[in-house]
Amino acid sequence: MIDQMYRKAVLTVAGQKAIENAVRARGWGMAQRFVAGETPQTAIQAVHDLKKDGIMANLDLLGEFIESPAQCTQFADNVITMLDAAHAAGITPYVSIKLSSVGQGKTVDGEDLGLTNARRIIRRAREYGGFVCLDMEDHPRVDQTLAQFRTLHGEFGGQHVGTVLQSYLYRTEKDRASLDDLSPNLRIVKGAYLEPETVAYPQKADVDAAYRRLVYAHMQAGNYVNVATHDESIIHDVQMYALAHGISKDAFEFQMLYGIRRDLQRNLAAAGYRVRAYIPYGRDWYPYFSRRIAETPRNAMFVLRGMLKG
């Protein structure tokens, strides 16, 4: 409950326009700890840097709840530009997209624009042997996102598209089981949006327990799972579970956020585990940055110290 209260308080404060303006004016230097610059070039350099340590990359152009259809299509064009740039740099592209950013919920020419633009992005990624992860957003979007994932999986196959499930939602274990017929590539996260207790566990212990159940169930079903957490106790438990059940290190990977626990990322990679860093980039960094500082008081203190020094 304390964790939920802390996150709610930070996100409420961060949502105030005066706070946003102050952080945007003085906070880019701090945001660079979590965000790999504002351009494809800076993001690609971050990919090359991580590769030296045996760490793979998941690129994410930041931008949420973009309003007009034209802006959504432009955002999709920008993602495709990143795919082209990554390929040109010798990188097999792996990107994440939020369907709201490319038009989910907006109908153009009789079809959901998010689905139309996601097809364009995945089609280009497939040309380069790449992969697109459909991020999960707040709970009202879950049903549509899962339905569109099922459609896109049928069109492009699981080697080119996956999605995300959030352990703090009560519904998620049933959602995971409902996808087993696809043998999907899933990224399991705890969840970073501020959700009401009617749909999400308020207690961290319950979120963590659900997280373990989701990962173990997906492993047991023989599906590839992306274990997206910095929680060392969960990482250890997943390692032990895989060892006890004869699950190969090639059947799953650990995913962590850019700029957080780099030592842990390097140690896991050195131990022979597949490790991928989630690398956000772009000018619309404030909402993402806000969720990162809301995760732990340590992150919030990092920002406060930086603001005071400024």
Backbone angles phi, psi at 282, to 5 degrees: 125, 170
Of 118, 120, 122, 90, the C-alpha closest to 104 is 118
| C-alpha span between 19 and 212 (Å, rounded) | 36
In DSSP terms, which residues pair with 61 in a beta bridge? 281
| C-alpha span between 196 and 200 (Å, rounded) | 6
With beta carbons less than 8 A apart as the criterion, state whether 54 and 253 touch.
Answer: no
Question: Is residue 124 flagged as an active site residue?
Answer: no
Question: Is residue 77 flagged as an active site residue?
Answer: no
Could you say which of 187, 274, 276, 291 is catalytic? 187
- Provide the 3-class DSSP secondary structure of residue 87: helix
- As a residue count, the chain comes to 310
| Beta-carbon count within 10 A of 293 CB | 25
Could you say which of 7, 119, 124, 135 is catalytic? 135
- Provide the 3-class DSSP secondary structure of residue 277: strand
Question: Which are the catalytic amino acids?
Answer: 135, 187
